[in-house]
Copies of this chain bind each other. A is one copy, B any other.
Amino acid sequence: MDKWSKHDLLDLQTLSAEEIEHVLETAKSFKEVSSREVKKVPALRGKTIVSLFFEPSTRTRGSFELAAKRLSADTINMSGSGSSLSKGETIVDMAKNIEAMNVDLIIVRHSVAGVPHKLAENLNASVVNAGDGCRSHPTQALLDMFTIKDKLGEIKGKKVVIVGDILHSRVARSNIVGLTKLGAEVTVCGPSTLIPIGIEQMGVKVSYDIDAVIPDQDVIMLLRLQKERQEEHYLSSIREYAKTFGFNANRLKMAKKDVLVMHPGPTNRGVELSGEVADGARSVILDQVTNGVAVRMAVLYLTLGTKDVSKEE
């Protein structure tokens, strides 16, 4: 690749396979920084990064905040209450006000899909999507891909099954886009009510029977199941879900010996997976968290290294 040219990170649709690989390579060197005695480099000294979260989050926000601090950037947290900001135009207005404080990059999470894209269209500051509605969560997918590559050597040709509530999952969507781009064979698996119709068009296989697909997979990626899905009648019961799709020691026995068990966290132990499996030898859940900081350092570093020439006149 000649040179990184993306001013924003909005989703993985707009990154080429080569660009995704470049993020993963860059993250590799930043992972090393976090293992040092002095976990800090001056790369973004004097840059201002604002995290603007319209959904509560401690993990993702903390991960981004640490990433920014280890790059020596100045960080500010802002919370948006959705109420007064329900119209896209108003959010743009708010973001422009933040940008006017000479802010270099805004990390945004919002329950409405497309908000980060809307901001990026209207701002000169870089925009990084930390999750928008059910659409995208690109840094989560990047850290998942980093973890797979780190553990299995490569992504190309690997078989990955994503299990659970595909319908509502931005983690699933971003992983599907990224993993297929890098040549993985992705299957989605879950109750039929939670698999979106036509998902095959994203280049994935669909299964409703986890036991049928387990033996083939290199990676089992479990999604968090929101308890609300039962009340919303997507599920007859959480217990039934746990029985039918929960990944436990019995199902682990059916899998390849060196299978990776992944979960974006926080886990519902006893639902998506058993505590035994979560803490077991095949689980890379905590590696995902560690790699998350490295990947976010790479994303902040790369996007801030560009000038958005397309926006300049």
Binding site for B on A (CB under 8 A): 34-40, 45-48, 50, 58-59, 62-63, 65-66, 69-70, 74, 76, 78-80, 89-90, 93-94, 96-98, 100-103, 265-267, 269, 275, 278, 286-287, 289-290, 292-293
> Closest residue to A278 on the B side, CB-wise?
B93
Is the CB–CB distance between A290 and B79 below 8 Å? no
Could you tell me if B35 and A46 are in contact, using CB atoms closer than 8 angstroms?
Answer: no
The answer to whether B38 and A97 touch across the interface, beta carbons within 8 angstroms, is: no
Q: A62-B78, A100-B287, A102-B290 are in contact. List 6 more A-B contacts (CB 8 A).
A: A37-B46, A38-B45, A62-B101, A66-B74, A100-B290, A101-B290
Whether A58 touches B36, Cβ cut-off 8 Å, given contacts A74-B69, A101-B63, A286-B96, is: no
Given contacts A97-B266, A266-B97, A289-B101, contact A40 B46 (CB under 8 A): yes
A104 to chain B: closest residue by CB: B39
Question: A37: which B residues are within 8 A, CB to CB?
Answer: 46
A53 CB to closest chain B CB, in angstroms?
A: 12
Judge whether B39 and A292 touch: CB under 8 Å: no
| A58-B79, A266-B97 known; A34-B102 Cβ under 8 A | yes
* Given contact pairs A79-B58, A286-B97, A102 touches B65 in the complex (Cβ within 8 A): no
Taking a contact as CB atoms under 8 Å apart, the answer to whether B286 and A59 are in contact is no
Q: Could you tell me the distance between the alpha carbons of A38 and B103 in the complex, rounded to whole angstroms?
A: 12
